[in-house]
Amino acid sequence: MYEQILQVAESFFMQQGYHGTSTRQIADALGIKQPNIYYHFKGKEAIYFEVMVTLSEEVSV
């Protein structure tokens, strides 16, 4: 679920930006409840950070 959250979040962040994306949107897109996201991440900022780390690693390879 961790990786799925990151994949969906990346898509939303790219389309709507950080402020235009909510954890509720991410949860709804995955068909899960928001607490499931908070089980894996402290919040939207933590998700965004992991997405950016992943993208920067892909670019530097």
Q: Which domain holds residue 18?
A: 2-60
- Tens of pLDDT along 17-28? 999 999 999 999
Cα 37 to Cα 58: distance, rounded to the nearest angstrom = 24
- pTM (two decimals): 0.91
Domain count, the chain: 1
pLDDT score at 58 = 83
- Tens of pLDDT along 32-51? 999 999 999 999 999 999 99
User: The tokens of 40 are what?
Assistant: 């894996």
pLDDT score at 29 = 99
Cα 52 to Cα 10: distance, rounded to the nearest angstrom = 9
CATH number at residue 29: 1.10.10.60
